[in-house]
Structure 1
Amino acid sequence: MKAMILAAGLGKRMRPLTDHCPKPLLPVAGKPLIVHHLERLQQAGFNEVVINVSYHAEQIIQALGDGQTYGLRIHWSQESTPLETGGGIQNALPLLGDAPFLLVNGDIWCDYLPAQAMLKGDDLAHLVLVDNPAHHVDGDFALEHGRALTHGTPRYTYAGVSIIHPALLAGHPPGAFALAPLFKHAMNEQRVSGEHFTGHWVDIGTPERLAALEHFLSL
């Protein structure tokens, strides 16, 4: 199974830290944020990773190269302008192939160790869900008997980690579009599974959250 890291965002909420540095290269505990993802993927047995880039793409490519330093092979999916989550994945499908792949948002940190598990039956996605943080108290999706649902309680927050079947994006017009509506459509067809992860997870959306993570990792 291949993995994909979403790393093409502008990092607007992280300014001024991202005025001249792309968010994936912001240092956390002595190494760029994206390197934490690469090391965890390699530890989990992945060997090929697709990374989409746009904002300051050249800095990220130069920093990581072909991935050999991290025991991985990196494939680069470049976007002239950011294509959002769904569009970025769709643009990278030629590099990902026809099999399900692991998707990781580049702007999170968590100690979840991804498994190379396959989707069950005709499922189109498997989502990792976490307890709702203070900045997102209403959550995103419900979870019932291992199935992710658009409605119900309790509700959890999408962790930015999932297994995706390329067919989830089949037929969608090219361009910039979000991934969440595709998840919801597949949930309505009962084709999305999920799990509740209770380990440490951070959505690094502000400089304050980055500083808090730095403090946590220094303990």
Structure 2
Amino acid sequence: MGEPTAAMVFAAGFGTRMGALTQTRPKPLIEVAGRALLDHALEVAHAAGLRAMVNAHYKAEMVAAHLQKRPEVEVVIERPDILDTGGGLKAALPLLGGDPVFTLNSDAVWAGPNPLDCLRDAWRPEQMGALLLLVPLERTVGYTRAGNFAADAQHRLTRDAGGMVYTGAQVLHTGGLADIDEASFSLNALWDQMLPEHQLFGIEYPGFWADVGTPDGIGLAEKMLEQHGHV
């Protein structure tokens, strides 16, 4: 079982929480500290030595045009319907080439070590179905919801609304996607397969993480980068 060599960067969403900012452009092209969110994510993947793939749906042509300067990045356009994270990953599997893979949301900014390197160092493919990168609420920026998960001493996860926050970065085996018949579905469906089998794991990110989901999140993320540095 080989080491993961590819990362799927999710960039297909509508960005409705951004309000007017996403009426003229997709959320992944909104800039934080002078760079598009999508470029922040792709730099994380590139710095980790990974081949990156991006999915797109809302204003997909703008995403594709933006990535013309990165010919090494393949773009998968979801038409006619958006496929959500699970469906998008499943549709891209023939192009990703191999299992396991990393996934990374494009609406986050990091201050600290490379999140994908953190996952790679802790990944144990023989015992884990997925390894999620989590962060405590007190080291989130721009995040206004509850936590998602709690981890035991062996890093196995349970769902916990008061726990740590899933950052949108993970490494996972993709075989279970074949058991899900829907075309459009969240990766939560795959995690729900893994939870009863104690195959869902998580580790804590040691740095700071910004959720850039609303207009306020842009300035908060920029302030975080000024205070704590960049990946």
TM-score, with structure 2 as normaliser = 0.84
Find the counterpart in structure 1 of residue 107 from structure 2: 107
Q: Distance between the aligned counterparts of 2:74 and 2:195, measured in 1?
A: 30
The size of the alignment, in residue pairs, is 213
Residue aligned with 2:9, SS? strand
Contact 1:5 1:49 in 2 (8 A): yes
Counterpart of 2:144 (choices 111, 135, 138) is 135
In structure 2, the residue matched to 1:161 is 169
Select the structure that is richer in helix.
Answer: 2
CA shift, 1:152, in A, is 6.3
Which residue is 1:126 aligned to?
Answer: 131
Deviation at 1:104, TM superposition (A): 0.2
Q: Quick check: 1:77 aligned with 2:76?
A: yes
Deviations 1:107-166 (Å, cap 9, x if unpaired)? 1111341124554314221110111256123x1111112423225697211110000211
In structure 2, the residue matched to 1:92 is 92
Which residue of the partner structure matches residue 41 of structure 2? 37
Are the equivalent residues in 2 in contact too, given 1:90–1:174 (CA < 8 A)?
Answer: no
In 2, distance between residues paired with 1:84 and 1:152? 23
More deviation, 147-156/184-193: 147-156
The CA deviation at 1:55 is 0.5
Would the alpha carbon gap of residues 66 and 124 (structure 1) be closer, same or farther in structure 2, given more than 3 Å must change?
A: farther
Secondary structure of the corresponding residue to residue 179 of structure 2: coil
Match of 1:185 in 2: 193
SS of the residue 2:190 aligns to: helix
Contact 1:125 1:168 in 2 (8 A): no
Q: What's 2:207 paired with?
A: 199
Partner of 2:20: helix, strand, or coil?
A: coil
For residue 23 of structure 2, what is the aligned residue in structure 1? 19
Change (3 A) 1:136 1:156: same
Residues 174 and 119 of structure 1, relative CA distance in 2, 3 Å threshold: farther
Does residue 60 (structure 1) correspond to residue 63 (structure 2)? The answer is yes
Q: 2:28 and 2:160 mapped to 1: Cα distance?
A: 34
Structure 2 residue 15 is matched with structure 1 residue 6: no
Matched-pair contact (CA < 8 Å) for 1:119–1:163: no
Aligned to 1:65, what secondary structure does the other structure show? helix
How far residue 177 of structure 1 moved from its aligned partner, in angstroms, is 0.8
Q: Give SS of 1:21's match.
A: coil
Q: Which runs of 5+ in 2 are unaligned?
A: none
Output the CA distance in 2 between the equivalents of 1:185 and 1:77. 26
